[in-house]
Amino acid sequence: MEIRDGESPGMERQRQARWENERRASSLLGSDHASLSVACECDHDDCAAELSVSKTAYRNVRRQARWFLVLDGHERPDAHRVIRMDDAFVIVEAA
């Protein structure tokens, strides 16, 4: 993936993590598992955190193109608006 005009390198990292999660989740959404293990979609280049997310929460986030799943503490007030905080993750909207 490439950086788009006017886009920060961090946003590229978020889109890449989201793409990887969509690929990973596609085989699990129809399974009997109640939750999914997905990569944190923050914009930290060195982040390797994994999140446990319910299928319902995952689907809700994917309905919004600018929403991302991040580990609590990985949201950035200058780049994200917090949509919802959960015990295991935070849903943010990219600015």
pLDDT at 6: 52
pLDDT digits (tens, 9 = 90+) for 39-95: 999 988 899 999 999 888 998 999 999 999 999 999 999 889 999 999 889 999 987
Give one DSSP letter per residue of 12-40, joined into a string. HHHHHHHHHHHHHHHTTTTSS-SEEEEE-
| Domain total in the chain | 1
Residue 39 placed within a domain: yes
Residue 30 placed within a domain: yes
Rounded CA-CA distance 59/57 in Å is 5
Residue 76 placed within a domain: yes
Residue 64 placed within a domain: yes
For 62, the domain range is: 9-94
Task: Select the more confidently predicted residue: 11 or 65.
Answer: 65
Residue 84 placed within a domain: yes
